Amino acid sequence: MKYKDLIKELTLEEKASLMSGKDYWQTQNIDRLGISSMFLADGPHGIRKQAVASDKLGLNAGIPATCFPTAATVANSWNVELGEKIGEYLGEEAVAQKVNVLLGPGVNMKRNPLCGRNFEYFSEDPYLAGKMAAGYIRGVQSHGISACVKHFAVNNQEERRMSIDTIVDERTLREIYLTAFEIAVKEGNTMTIMTSYNKLNGTYTNENMHLMQDILRREWDYKGVVVTDWGGSNDRVAGLLAGNELEMPTTAGETDREIIEAIHSGKIKEEVLDACVDRLLELIFTTEEAYKKHHVEFDIEKHHRVAQKAAEESIVLLKNEDNILPLRFGKKVAVIGDFAKDARYQGAGSSIVNPTILDHTLNCFEESGIISIGYEPGFERYGKNNGEKVNHACALAEKADVVLLYIGLDEVTEADGLDRQSMKIPKNQIDLLNALYKVNPNIVAILSCGTAVEMPWIDKVKGLVHGYLGGQAGARSILRVLSGDVNPSGKLAETYPVRYEDTPSFLHFSGKEASVEYRESIYIGYRYYDTANIDVLFPFGYGLSYTTFEYSDIQVTRDGVTLKLTNSGRVAGMEISQLYIGCKSDKIFRPKRELKGFVKVFINAGETKTVTIPFDDKTFRYFNVKTNSWEIEEAEYNVMVGSSSVDIRLMDTILVKGTGAPLPYDKSKLPSYYSGKTNDVTVEEFENLIGYKVPVPTWDRTKPLGYNDTIAQCQYAKGGFARISYHVVVFAHWYLRKIGKRETANLIMMSIYHMPFRGIARMTGGVANMAMLDGILMMVNGHFFKGLRHVLKERSKMLMDRKNVKKLAMLVGKKYE
């Protein structure tokens, strides 16, 4: 241990106290030994450090910071160097705001388009997500502070996320859901990892010895700190045994006492606690050094320009019929859509950034050179019908050569803690589009949202520009693409299905009660669509340009692939060449092709460049469940290079020597997986894959409610008080939506309805403790007065204990003075 001598000077109580937060965002300090508090702040795409109320969940605005494009947006750039540059600027701002740990990036897979937090994640592909995350981490940590990759792991739905049990086979866990984390640890060298709320195959992730010890600590040799998601600790002692150093936020000393009692009883050896303290001290002292070495201010304008560059390179041109774009000089455009006036530029929830500058479309037209004849909102932002606005918009559209229609999803549709209800864009926006089409078919739609949407209306637009959530400079960036000042180079980091029912997890998302089964196994995203031959709207890796590129002269060696790439058009541009690998053997089920490399190249018009994409340790591997290790199957492999997952331009084969591992599967028992058609796998076949009986996916309504049951389950509680409370919550949610308070309604669902009871103790910063929670559960389970007496008794006891602790702390302080 690095800090062995210092740890010897700490009392047991002090060591235990370091394992939990001091308040909502800070860790505990021990001034007598020079151990300072660390500040942890949300920040996947910008620093969210609250100026006040740092001891509470807080909905107040954060200190102004640059709002960069979200991860889902920047992933479309396929530019790892750009991700690293964004990380550098995020790290600089973190140092300026005295943030030790920046809580991001998020690398969870986009298993399903409806996950409410997809805007905060990179991709449906683990290789792309991992490489982008590693770039961000290197950039952030270049300033000496820590990035924190999250949420470890298989956190792919928001509803019931604090109690859901994710059932997934080991191979899928390793190949799909952990690979991005592996790259973040090994290539990004992240100093901190955040565990997810959910269970993994029956055990909470931060207590899961297989995940935390076998894989993270031993296989990946991770030496850094693990922190819980906020309120994500279930059993503090089990978490500590698994190597989860830091619990956030504070529990006002309650879990510190649990750790102390566990050591006194022999449940935990003190050496285990010491090792956790040692890792935490390393993080504290390392990040503290950053403030001594780096400048404490940042250039707001310069950072804004970097945010603009990131947005420009991440915009995806999805349709360009009749080359309607870029807009020709002199064309008169009508600007229609509420999102043109008030840009939709970031997601909602814990990642909300208070931007330093905010560009809006209507303020940027003059410099763009585009001639606007006027603006009409056209629709109500939150879905209400308004015929008058439609009529005004149509009247303006009739006078224009081209209509720029700004549509998308509103701020409360995509949110931390909630999943979307459908893949559709609000009906009132589509009604507007249909009306505009009748008076002017020259429509260019500008789409703003952080995830995939259905587009049954796509034939009504000639141009489609997807800006995703482009950050504070996104509006100006989109105009630069429309005008032709910027040649779009983004490509989709996720597949856009024709309809939601086509998605492989359609029948098993989200888990509605106790568990969610990942029956589709490794076949998520393009791995499913390409293998099962399902038509999609836009494939993974797709994106148009104002120029064209030709591929030629593929050369495959043991080290990688080289090819010639020519810009055959009239303007300079960037092309993303994508390397896919497909095994020709059918002995082990696999997707038709998998992304194993990519490179983004700038090429002038008429120029040819030689492009190299190297192989690495992940190119040919698969996880063998019999040997419990990564293996290579000896076989011939298709080596494919393309402009998207379906637009393969060049192909060759290579024979690869294998590791000689035994075959992991009985093919006859897994017909769906060998065909790739895994959208409707039977429970029997899924059990053959995972090797055990799946747990009952529904709540047990016969048992009393306990710590990990949710408020939603009060609907069938024995106590009338609980059932009434449930209906009050449901009514409050309905009423708030009815009167337009959708953000508050969402907060009720996230922080009350889907919250497990233990969250009352874990998320309130010491207002309630687990002993008081026992009384609340008595009330819920039909013993109202007995429970109420218990709550009042334990609250009095808790307050008295705190007074005694304060007195003791004062005495100890005087002793060391």
SS3 label, residue 10: coil
CA of 563: how far to CAs of 407, 599, 610, 645, in Å?
39, 12, 6, 17
Q: Which of the residues 42, 229, 338, 502 is marked catalytic?
A: 229
Residue 235: count other Cβ atoms within 10 Å of its Cβ: 17
Note whether 580 and 645 are within 8 A (CB).
yes
Note whether 306 and 39 are within 8 A (CB).
no
CA dist 711 and 709 (Å) reads: 7
Q: How does 300-317 read in b/e, with b if 16+ C-beta sit within 10 Å?
A: eeebbebbbbbbbbbbbb
DSSP 356-368: SS---GGGSHHHH
Is 229 designated active site? Answer: yes
Strand 146-152 versus strand 192-195 pairing type: parallel
Is the sign of the CA dihedral 480, 481, 484, 489 positive or negative?
Answer: positive
Strand 536-538 versus strand 496-497 pairing type: antiparallel
Note whether 94 and 105 are within 8 A (CB).
no
Note whether 336 and 397 are within 8 A (CB).
yes
* Beta bridge mates, 40: 101
* Beta bridge mates, 538: 496
CA dist 644 and 577 (Å) reads: 8
CB within 8 A of 15, min separation 6: which ones? 7, 273, 274, 277
CA dist 25 and 49 (Å) reads: 9
Tokens of 809: 């702390």
Note whether 563 and 553 are within 8 A (CB).
yes
Tokens of 244: 């989860």
Closest CA to 423 of 331, 500, 495, 493: 500
Radius of gyration of the chain (CA): 27
What are the backbone dihedrals phi and psi of residue 728, each rounded to the nearest 5 degrees, phi first? -65, -45
What are the backbone dihedrals phi and psi of residue 88, each rounded to the nearest 5 degrees, phi first? -60, -45
Note whether 618 and 134 are within 8 A (CB).
no
Cα(first)–Cα(last) distance of the chain, in Å? 28
SS3 label, residue 119: helix
CA dist 146 and 102 (Å) reads: 6
CA of 147: how far to CAs of 105, 293, 347, in Å?
7, 18, 20
CA of 433: how far to CAs of 345, 361, 478, in Å?
22, 19, 20
Note whether 141 and 189 are within 8 A (CB).
yes
Note whether 78 and 598 are within 8 A (CB).
yes
Conformational region of residue 127, where left means phi above 0, alpha means psi within -120 to 50, and beta covers everything else: alpha
CA dist 94 and 43 (Å) reads: 9
Q: Which are the catalytic amino acids?
A: 229
